[in-house]
Amino acid sequence: MYGVYDYDFKFENQEITVGVEKRGGFLRYFRSLKNGSDNVEKILASDTGKIIVNPVEPLNLPKEITNYLEIEFEPIVIEPNSYRKVYLKFPIEIGVFAATKKSIDILDIFSLNNQKYSLYGPPDSGVICRWYKSDVFAGIPKTEILKEGVIELNIQNTSHEWVEMRRIVFESYGMKIYYNDIVSMVAVVKIINRMVAETNFINKPIKDGMKKALELYTARRIPVVERKGFLMEWGLK
Amino acid sequence: MADVLNTVIYNTITVWDVLVVIVVVILAIIIAKIVTLNLKKILSDKVKKDVLEIIIKIVNYGIILIAFLAVLPQLNIDLSGLLVAGGIAGLVIGFASQSVVANLVSGLFLMIERPIRIGDQISIEGVSGFVEDIHIFSTIIRTYDGIYIRIPNEKVFTSNITNYVANVARRFEYLIGIRYADDADKAIEIIKKVIDAHPFALKNPSPTIFVDELGDSSVNIRVRIWAPSTVWYDVKMELLWKIKVELERNGIEIPFPQRVIWFGDKGGVKVESGKDIPA
């Protein structure tokens, strides 16, 4: 489903129908989810554009209220001054973009997942996060490409103590999503002590030959100040 | 032309001097406008809207004030003299404009302490709504029914302010009554499922659901839910009805107020018509 299409694009499976068709003298973009939650139809006043479909940062539905993604997983106890690589799954939202040579804009965002949000930290100074529960994998797990992606998580315990970790929080601005037969991100978490860690994304695919997904804030032309990742200062458990 | 410009208006002040002052002030206003416009463009994505508004106001008035003070000697106004005269005049004006000054000072303190920001949902002295703007002298509130209300800053500063969105999350609660004949554990399980299915009913802090009291007509279940402050009211509105529908779908009903009436051992009631009702 992911890729660049002309205006004759149509995709249908058991859960979703999405595409562009000419009806009533207009080009119309349409999308319907089989669970009937919401349908979208828009007139496309364009002749020469393309449709781009790719996974986007999973922080837009049902309404954009946060820039943070929290993934909870079974506890990992990490020995002092060590490095481990594990794989987690993350939820996917699908972005449909209308593009011309000079301009690109978001047409629709939908998801085949249910959303859940959570609070990381105290109510007065914490952050609201999109919440997701994942298993922990030693290798790249199989995923449903329209629902889940894989995060390669490089854990560096730089402290001199054993650290138990059961959640990770990322900020969306650094998310670099790649796709082909799977959807992926690569992230690093640097554990500073039992309570504090810093998370970052690395701009590279999980394996060779993957395409980079369009970032939403690029499409929305939102200028972003470069940040040095997210500091998890309210605990790792 | 030169004669007109050299015409003395007052003391040694000529038309030329006055023109210079006017041109400088107008230029300062134009420069302030250009600078603030550019500041808006540059900082709008990097600084929060309310902070940006304050920066822009300070820069705008600062440029105009500096230009005005710089050009005052052109009118032969000695600022040191003004200080003495200003001291006396200040006393007079101070007494006359006590509330204006109080509002100004309160406005400055509000900008420093920042208990409220533009866009926040607040309640002050019974006025609830969105903060539209914080001026030097007053704060503008747009109530939930869209009405414009101006509150002097002195009142804002000295009142109890409830800011509903200062924290990122907040809790709300329901009290749901079920029949004594219903299974409270099952009801709690159903309510929990409905809450879990709502995206914005937060996972952490987790909701709490428990039998709170054995009421006159119902077993009362207390439901406490945390939600993001920006959407909590939407969540509150949506969830209550969903819980009611789901409980009823599972055969658990929310009872009407009821009272058991016992007629005594002999039974029967004497009614006015004289016709007895049997026990």
Q: How many domains does chain A have?
A: 1
Location of structure tokens 């149509």: A10
Structural domain span for residue A144:
3-232
Name which of A237, A231, A201 is nearest A126 in CA terms: A231
Averaged pLDDT, B46-61: 78
| Closest CA of chain A from B37, distance in Å | 18
Cβ-proximal residues to A119 (8 Å cutoff; 6+ apart), any chain: A126, A127, A128, A129, B168, B169, B202, B204, B205, B226, B228
Q: Is B152 on the interface with A (CB under 8 A)?
A: no
Scanning every residue of chain A, which has its alpha carbon at the shortest distance from the alpha carbon of B196?
A116
Chain A neighbors of B45, CB-CB under 8 A: 222-223
Q: Which A residues, 106 through 145, put their C-beta within 8 Å of a C-beta on chain B?
A: 114-120, 123-124, 126-128, 131
Q: Is the pLDDT of residue A30 over 70?
A: yes
Averaged pLDDT, A154-168: 95
> In the CATH hierarchy, which fold is given to the domain comprising B169-249?
Alpha-Beta Plaits (3.30.70)
Determine which of A60, A66, A118 to mutate to test the interface with B (most B C-beta atoms within 10 Å): A118
Q: What is the mean pLDDT of chain B?
A: 85
pLDDT class of B44 with cuts at 50, 70, 90 = confident
Chain A neighbors of B202, CB-CB under 8 A: 117-119, 128
- Report the SS3 class of residue A75: strand
Residues of chain B with CATH 2.30.30.60: 108-163
Give the model confidence (pLDDT) of A170-217 as tens digits. 998 778 999 999 999 999 999 999 999 999 999 999 999 999 998 876
Q: Is the pLDDT of residue A221 over 60?
A: no
Cis check for the bond before B205: say yes or no (omega within 30 of 0).
Answer: yes
Say what the pLDDT of residue A224 is. Answer: 52
pLDDT class of A231 with cuts at 50, 70, 90 = very high
CB contact under 8 A, A119 and B46: no
A vs B: CB pairs below 8 A: 53
Chain B neighbors of A61, CB-CB under 8 A: 199
Name which of B122, B200, B134, B124 is nearest B164 in CA terms: B122
| Closest CA of chain A from B228, distance in Å | 7
Say what the pLDDT of residue B231 is. Answer: 93
Chain B neighbors of A126, CB-CB under 8 A: 168-169
Query: Between B142 and B17, where is the model more confident?
Result: B142
Determine which of A59, A116, A130, A133 to mutate to test the interface with B (most B C-beta atoms within 10 Å): A116
Which residue type is seen at A237?
K
Scanning every residue of chain A, which has its alpha carbon at the shortest distance from the alpha carbon of B171?
A123
Averaged pLDDT, A49-56: 92
Query: Between B97 and B15, where is the model more confident?
Result: B15
Say what the pLDDT of residue B274 is. Answer: 47
Determine which of B202, B206, B238 to mutate to test the interface with A (most A C-beta atoms within 10 Å): B202
Say what the pLDDT of residue A89 is. Answer: 96
Give the model confidence (pLDDT) of A73-124 as tens digits. 999 999 999 999 999 999 999 999 998 888 888 999 999 989 999 999 999 9
Give the model confidence (pLDDT) of B160-192 as tens digits. 999 998 999 999 999 999 999 999 999 999 999
In a domain, A7, yes or no: yes
In a domain, A59, yes or no: yes
What is the ipTM score, two decimals? 0.90
Say what the pLDDT of residue B243 is. Answer: 96
Q: Which two tokens stand for residue B172?
A: 């709300």
Q: Which of A98-102, B129-133, B196-200 has the highest mean pLDDT?
A: B196-200
Say what the pLDDT of residue B5 is. Answer: 76
Chain B neighbors of A134, CB-CB under 8 A: none
| Cross-chain CB nearest to A115 (options B199, B226, B230) | B199
Beta bridge partners of B8: B14
According to DSSP, the β-strands at A148-157 and A183-191 are parallel
| Closest CA of chain B from A107, distance in Å | 23
Averaged pLDDT, B63-91: 77
Residues of chain B with CATH 3.30.70.100: 169-249
Q: Which two tokens stand for residue B164?
A: 């509903």
In a domain, A237, yes or no: no
Name which of B151, B163, B149, B195 is nearest B176 in CA terms: B195
pLDDT class of B265 with cuts at 50, 70, 90 = low
Q: Which two tokens stand for residue B186?
A: 């099952």
Whether A155 contacts A191, CB under 8 Å: yes
CB contact under 8 A, B226 and A114: no
Residues recorded for chain A: 237
Averaged pLDDT, A32-46: 84
Scanning every residue of chain B, which has its alpha carbon at the shortest distance from the alpha carbon of A217?
B45
Q: What is the largest CA-CA distance in chain A?
A: 69
Scanning every residue of chain A, which has its alpha carbon at the shortest distance from the alpha carbon of B169?
A123
In a domain, A34, yes or no: yes
| Cross-chain CB nearest to B169 (options A114, A123, A225) | A123
- Report the SS3 class of residue B70: helix
Say what the pLDDT of residue A42 is. Answer: 92
CB contact under 8 A, B202 and A225: no
| Closest CA of chain A from B247, distance in Å | 22
> In the CATH hierarchy, which fold is given to the domain comprising B108-163?
SH3 type barrels. (2.30.30)
Give the model confidence (pLDDT) of B100-118 as tens digits. 778 878 878 887 888 898 8
